[in-house]
Chain A
């Protein structure tokens, strides 16, 4: 028992205290590494995409539609950062202007999915069991179609074009959000704090507005950020097969479609817009995941 009296720091434990310091150094370093380079890079890419979407003139002086057949299929150079395509249009310029389409389509389609999914999920979560079953089965039916197929059906019925493309993508995204919101709502409705709030005499609408909705929604912005990437690539896929905005619109999927016949002579017309698309999708996913990790850390 005499050892108890001796302060820990005074004990001769050279090797072990070395291990302690190393462990402490590792832990401290880990704390500084909280924001990894990947997230910073992703934020920078999203920043660029936003800039391109809202102020493309700041990034390029060229006209995305003006053709110059004399300068067709030129490789990247100082004059044309990403070269020119088969009509002599500046590829970099078209990528910059295309950001707006991709972003607008992605954002509005995601907004439609989130909003509809949220309403359905919340309604299912707080309704009596029969209504919950009705909504949930309807969502199941929607989810049972592959999303691209569902979008194809919508476009086949309504015809190609920007608005229909957005509607199609938005519809196919609904089930995912609806299911998550329903699960969250059920969890919150059965939670101790909702029970407590009932005991405090809160009315049902107030209960839902003050406790159920905000707590069930917590995860939605996170999911939406991840979902945005999917919506953007889905939009590109549909435009690629000619169901989106029609040429000469500089939409990324459409650019890829136009470039595919010239890949052997002018790889830059396909590879570089493709890289822009990939980078945007990955960036939004990375940001969403980082946000999700932060959200989950905040949970008890």
Chain B
């Protein structure tokens, strides 16, 4: 190839990148004036919240900015050659061959009809031709490299037969099959459990050690901190801050970066607000440790898995929730925590065991028997939009819990205004459909609906995992404030250990349907006794200590 001329140049050298999407009535400026330089073997991270233009930026590196996107730049050199406006043919030579792309959702990115081997072989045939035997050996080698157990078996499987972590490995194997000089990874670990995330990050770091450059995009500062030398913080299409990772995270120069860091919930943030520039202590909760509101005794629930197998989703789980208390429930996907939520909410009948609500039997019980007390336990779902009837306006959604009371119009309006105030939502939104709301507003509406029923217990199943860090901070602050004002108990379910540590009084750690460890949050997280909890905590990417302790505006 023309390696001699090109090798001296940086892999990516972009000056003043602009990406514009024409929409029906306006132009959307996704990226405005970004400079990006990636040298050989360098690892660069881009962090930013949704809509910051980070994904568009990495896609434009592969000529995949999207249909109708207008990409402009003063300089746009890949491997020392101008790449802007080059033919589709030239782009295809780069993609896979010299730049490998790893996307967030491996299930979507992999062809469901093709085996892992076929997927990787396709890249090899295109970029690294050889005999069939050579390619087969290379596929096996690649799967070995990405840490796939039993490469021979895995190579014959299709994406749906693999777990999330294995799928992501297969995707990475196909991204590196062409032996690219640069791997572009867009949120490669976002959908993964922490332990799997740690493995995937280690894999990317190993590639890095083998002198492959890396561009890692993530909303998670800690993930970027773990892998990258240099970090770019993006907001609204602009790089607001850029520099060596340690420096940016330890001593952020820009207010936005400081705010972003302060918004990350962790052990350090316990008892203070996340969303304010000046962190305030959280309002005191009225916790009555001696009054048990919800008690579950040896709950079990099985499901019939396809193929006649039985899946023990929940096995003999016991728990108590005191009045005003926050109980955190952590575990990875498949640990049974959502099933526990449904059992507690009375939406699923337990196979064995009982749930007692305020001293009265709550489950197992007939639906009719629960009807009158239903509103004492309210659910807040991860995806609020799907929990709203698509035909309903915000007002109708809030009025529904009050139907049973047969209240007058003015009383309903009064109640609605009360909860709107609690969750800081404007009355102006009442007549619109939640579909037009932002993610944070939707979650606020979901919380408002739960509150209007005046429940004794709120069950929140991953209520913030789909939100940006800053919005997550607002919602977590809101939950703490709401709990202080209503004295409701909160069962908070999350895969995010930082969030749970920030919020919960007591914690249950679940694995494979069992509670493996429980106790006060500080005890469990600071000195975990069960190996699984230790593993979870070790896998959690940490911000540099100084950054975690960083208090804005000090």
In the bound complex, residues from chain B placing their C-beta under 8 Å from that of A16 are: 70, 72
- Write out the residue numbers on chain B whose beta carbons fall within 8 Å of the beta carbon of A210: 389, 400
Binds A, one of B185-193, B372-380, B495-503: B372-380
Contact of A77 with B by CB under 8 A:
no
Q: Are B24 and A8 in contact, CB atoms less than 8 angstroms apart?
A: no
Segment 390-412 of B: residues with Cβ below 8 Å from A:
390-391, 400-401, 403-404
A193 CA / B435 CA spacing, docked (Å): 14
Of chain A, the residue at the smallest CB distance from B24 is A31
For B419, list chain A residues within 8 Å (CB).
Answer: none
- Cβ of A195 and Cβ of B347 under 8 Å apart? yes
Min C-beta distance of A48 to chain B, whole Å: 33
Given A24-B22, A30-B24, A200 and B453 contact (CB-CB distance below 8 Å): yes
Chain B residue, CB-CB nearest to A13? B72
In the bound complex, CA of A186 to CA of B112 (Å): 25
Q: Are B25 and A28 in contact (CB under 8 A)?
A: yes
If A27-B23, A193-B389 touch, whether A8 touches B239 (CB-CB below 8 Å) is no
Total contacts A-B at CB 8 Å:
103
Complex contact A196–B27 (CB within 8 A) = no
- CB contacts (< 8 Å) of B15 on chain A: these are 3
CB neighbours (8 Å) of A198 from chain B are 347, 367, 374
Specify the chain B residue showing the minimal Cβ separation from A5.
Answer: B33
* With contact pairs A1-B35, A4-B238, A8-B29 given, residues A199 and B377 touching in the complex (Cβ less than 8 Å): yes
How many residues in B have their beta carbons less than 8 Å from beta carbons of A?
Answer: 50
Assess the B32–A8 pair: CB atoms within 8 A.
yes
With most chain A CB atoms within 10 A of its CB, the pick from B29, B400, B435 is B400
Expressed in whole angstroms, the Cα–Cα distance for A204 and B377 within the complex equals 18
> Which A residues between 182 and 212 are near B, CB-CB below 8 angstroms?
191-193, 195-204, 206, 210-211
Q: Count of A residues near B, CB < 8 Å?
A: 37
B22 touches A27 (CB 8 A): yes
Does chain B have a CB within 8 A of A6?
A: yes
B221 / chain A contacts, CB cutoff of 8 Å? none
Residues of B within 8 A of A300 (CB): 385, 390, 435
Select which of B33, B375, B390, B401 is within 8 A of A215 by beta carbon. B390
- Once the chains bind, are B27 and A201 in contact (CB under 8 Å)? no
List residues of chain A with CB within 8 A of the CB of B403: 202, 206
CB <8 Å contact, B371 and A203: yes
How far, in angstroms, from A8 to B373 measured CA to CA in the complex? 59
In the complex, chain A residues whose CB is within 8 Å of the CB of B57: none
**A1, A191, A201 — which one has the most chain B CB atoms within 10 A of its CB?**
A201
Q: Which residue of B lies closest to A16 (CB)?
A: B72
Q: Establish whether residues A23 and B453, one from each chain, have CB atoms under 8 Å apart when the complex forms.
A: no
Tell whether A137 is near chain B: CB-to-CB under 8 Å: no
Give Cα A205 to B7, complex, Å.
72
Please give me the residue from chain B that is nearest to A300 by CB atom: B435
The verdict on B68 contacting chain A, using a C-beta distance below 8 Å, is yes
Of the candidates B20, B242, B387, B400, the one whose C-beta lies within 8 Å of that of A192 is: B387
Q: Tell me, in angstroms, the Cα distance from A4 to B15 when the chains sit together.
A: 10
Q: Is A260 an interface residue (CB 8 A)?
A: no
13 contacts between A and B (CB under 8 A): A8-B32, A24-B26, A27-B24, A193-B389, A196-B379, A200-B374, A200-B400, A203-B371, A206-B403, A210-B400, A215-B390, A299-B390, A300-B390
Name A's B-contacting residues (CB within 8 A). Answer: 1, 3-4, 6, 8, 11, 13, 16, 19-20, 23-24, 26-28, 30-31, 191-193, 195-204, 206, 210-211, 214-215, 299-300
Q: Which 5 A-B pairs have the closest CB atoms?
A: A201-B374, A192-B386, A23-B22, A192-B387, A3-B16
